[in-house]
Amino acid sequence: MGDSNSPPESPKENPDHVSDSNQIAKDDGELENIVRKFQDTMSVSKRHKFWETQPVGQFKDKEDTSLPEGPIEPPTPLSEVKQEPYNLPSQYEWTTCDMDSEETCNEVYALLKNNYVEDDENMFRFNYSKEFLRWALRPPGFYRSWHIGVRAKASKKLVAFITGVPARIRVRDVVVKMAEINFLCVHKKLRSKRLAPVMIKEVTRRVHLENIWQAAYTAGVVLPTPITTCQYWHRSLNPKKLIDVGFSRLGARMTMSRTVKLYKLPDSPATPGFRKMELRDVPAVTRLLRNYLGQFVVAPDFDEDDVEHWLLPTEGVVDSFLVESPETHDITDFCSFYTLPSSILGNQTYSTLKAAYSYYNVATKTPLLQLMNDALIVAKQKDFDVFNALDVMENDSFLKELKFGPGDGQLHYYLYNYRVRQELKPSELGLVLL
Ligand SMILES: CC(C)(COP(=O)(O)OP(=O)(O)OC[C@H]1O[C@@H](n2cnc3c(N)ncnc32)[C@H](O)[C@@H]1OP(=O)(O)O)[C@@H](O)C(=O)NCCC(=O)NCCS
């Protein structure tokens, strides 16, 4: 548990922390801490043959506060960027994946459904929907050339994938054009052959060709060097199913009926004026969000086009709600979550875990706790089994009280070619990557 090499977003509840009524045995907690510290030390001293060659914060420089914040390497003239793709092993070829094509989208979907991120115990695997992938990969100003696949030359089968999308990300008071890198996946049969570094170098080359020199990404593994390390928390909405599929365990001295009662939620949201976000709300939501995200050290710099794309509700992909004051009609609060199911591997009864992931939330008039309780209520209405949230932004202030339990595994955030002076606390991060 808490293996720092566990996969990212490890979608599983830590069974030692199932609920408030199931207190962690203190000794177990301490032992776990010692194990985690030991593993962190080990991974810090581990060699990273690829990452040591890249412009990223290196472990050896971690304590060196004299190094300046900002780009590690200056941009090179575009004419000096390598014009041809990197070499792949001779049986494979590059392909650009056109996500508008139903056929290509199906291939990407299938590759990820069968080969993408699993939890430590291989019980669950992310199952991003096709609609979600189209949404995630085609934001304003996206580049088709950044949706990169690898095919077997003989069969034309898609065997690896990596993507970037453009984003403006602010680090303190500097807004930096970046690529958000995601969906790195190598087919299970082609693992440990050093294909991932080639994929990463190729996406980097194509990002450079657009005159962009920085990137943001997350991973469940420790690489040189996280800007922060976050934890997932899980709020049971359908505890019986979560227990049946092994996502969570019945707490000590708990019966199923007591557990169901513990997680029961009201049928409808409590806040007057709580409603679904609409197109006409884009300007007000943008103002609310920009103002809110300003307080974090690292956060996206969203404009109205970004908000329309990333936050306007899209069925089965992203849900957003806001509070419109019944008196003034001002938009005072906002909450959102995205839909990311996981396949349940080898269960006779259930094949899919329906998970909602907390996205961006802003409370100015409604207490954040009440706003998020309303988010849980609408997620339950929409039949999600679990509501997940990272301990980023102000999330820590509601997690325990709203009966979230900590998950196993950690999510590390990284910047490419941008040094930050000091590791951030999760609460200093205002960025959620999909
Ligand atoms: C992640 C994945 C593509 C790595 O491929 P692999 O075949 O295991 O590893 P390779 O031999 O090709 O490459 C190893 C190198 O890639 C790095 N690497 C592994 N996972 C990485 C990740 N998620 N992000 C960045 N680099 C990663 C390793 O650290 C190593 O470099 P190093 O020697 O400098 O440490 C593959 O394991 C996979 O598809 N896993 C399931 C999906 C997944 O976890 N995707 C990542 C989501 S963040």
Task: Name the pLDDT band for 30 (thresholds 50, 70, 90).
Answer: low
SS (H, E, C) the chain: CCCCCCCCCCCCECHHHCCCCCCCCHHHHHHHHHHHHHHHHHHHHCCCCCHHHCCCCCHHHCCCCCCCCECCCCCCCHHHCCCCCCCCCCCEEEEECCCCCHHHHHHHHHHHHHHCCECCCCCEEECCCHHHHHHHHCCCCCCHHHEEEEEECCCCCEEEEEEEEEEEEEECCEEEEEEEEEEEEECHHHCCCCHHHHHHHHHHHHHHCCCCCEEEEEECCCCCCCCEEEEEEEEECCHHHHHHCCCCCCCCCCCHHHHHHHCCCCCCCCCCCEEECCHHHHHHHHHHHHHHHCCCCEEECCCHHHHHHHHCCECCCEEEEEEECCCCCCEEEEEEEEECCEEECCCCCCCEECEEEECCCEECCCCHHHHHHHHHHHHHHCCCCEEEEECCCCCHHHHCCCCCEEEEEEEEEEEECCECCCCCCHHHECCCCC
Q: How far is the CA of 219 from the centre of ligand 1 (A)?
A: 9
Range in 31-35, 245-249, 271-275, 377-381 with the lowest mean pLDDT: 31-35
pLDDT at 41 > cutoff 80: no
Residue 117 burial (CB count, 10 A)? 22
Amino acid at residue number 305:
D
Ligand 1, atom 4: nearest CA belongs to which residue? 196
pLDDT at 23 > cutoff 80: no
pLDDT tens digits for range 258-313:
999 999 999 999 999 999 999 999 999 999 999 999 999 999 999 999 999 999 99
Cβ–ligand 1 distance for 7 under 6 Å, the answer yes
> Average model confidence (pLDDT) for the chain?
92
pLDDT tens digits for range 84-135:
999 999 999 999 999 999 999 999 999 999 999 999 999 999 999 999 999 9
Cβ–ligand 1 distance for 50 under 6 Å, the answer yes
* Domains assigned to the chain: 50-223 (3.40.630.30), 229-428 (3.40.630.170)
Cβ–ligand 1 distance for 116 under 6 Å, the answer yes
Ligand 1, atom 46: nearest CA belongs to which residue? 184
Tell me the CA end-to-end span of the chain in Å, nearest whole number: 23
Q: How far is the CA of 158 from the centre of ligand 1 (A)?
A: 17
> Do you find a cis peptide bond into 314, omega within 30 degrees of 0?
no
The pLDDT score that the predictor gives to residue 46 is 83
Cβ–ligand 1 distance for 70 under 6 Å, the answer no
The pLDDT score that the predictor gives to residue 409 is 80
Q: Tokens representing 361?
A: 């939330």
pLDDT tens digits for range 237-258:
999 999 999 999 999 999 999 9
Task: Name the pLDDT band for 20 (thresholds 50, 70, 90).
Answer: very low
Cβ–ligand 1 distance for 185 under 6 Å, the answer yes
pLDDT tens digits for range 157-166:
999 999 999 9
The pLDDT score that the predictor gives to residue 21 is 39
CA dihedral 117, 33, 299, 196 (to 10 degrees): -30
Mean pLDDT of the 386-392 span = 98
Q: How far is the CA of 50 from the centre of ligand 1 (A)?
A: 10
Q: How far is the CA of 20 from the centre of ligand 1 (A)?
A: 36
| % of the chain residues with pLDDT over 70 | 90
What contacts 403, CB < 8 A, 6 or more positions away? 19, 20, 235, 236, 262, 263
Q: How far is the CA of 117 from the centre of ligand 1 (A)?
A: 11
Ligand 1, atom 20: nearest CA belongs to which residue? 221
Catalytic residues: 434
Ligand 1, atom 35: nearest CA belongs to which residue? 48
Cβ–ligand 1 distance for 112 under 6 Å, the answer no
The pLDDT score that the predictor gives to residue 7 is 32
- Ligand 1 pocket test, candidate residues 86, 201, 221, 232, most atoms within 8 A of CB: 221
For the CA of 195, the nearest atom of ligand 1: 12
Q: How far is the CA of 196 from the centre of ligand 1 (A)?
A: 5
Q: Tokens representing 58?
A: 């290196």
Ligand 1, atom 10: nearest CA belongs to which residue? 194
